[in-house]
Amino acid sequence: MEIIKLRDEYIKLGQALKAAGLAESGVDAKFAIEEGLVKVNGQVEYQRGKKLHDGDEVTYNGETIKITL
């Protein structure tokens, strides 16, 4: 499990995928999200700009990202 510490009150989903190394670029993150391959807290998410807050979990390609303060 990858842990991302927030610098602000939230991080956007596309940025989180890049920060965790699960997407090489914003374009890769965009396509993965649009194709329904990314889940936030167990629900498929289609918005690249979805704001993630402390406690949120993102699952993509068998990997999990946990958002913490």
**Amino acid 12: pLDDT:** 97
19: confidence class by pLDDT, cuts 50, 70, 90 = very high
Contact 16, 57 (CB under 8 A): no
User: What number is the average pLDDT over the span 31-55?
Assistant: 97
Contact 1, 66 (CB under 8 A): yes
> Domains of the chain by range and CATH?
2-68 (3.10.290.10)
Read off the DSSP letter of residue 11.
E
User: What number is the average pLDDT over the span 7-28?
Assistant: 95
60: confidence class by pLDDT, cuts 50, 70, 90 = very high
Handedness of CA 22, 11, 4, 54 (dihedral sign): negative
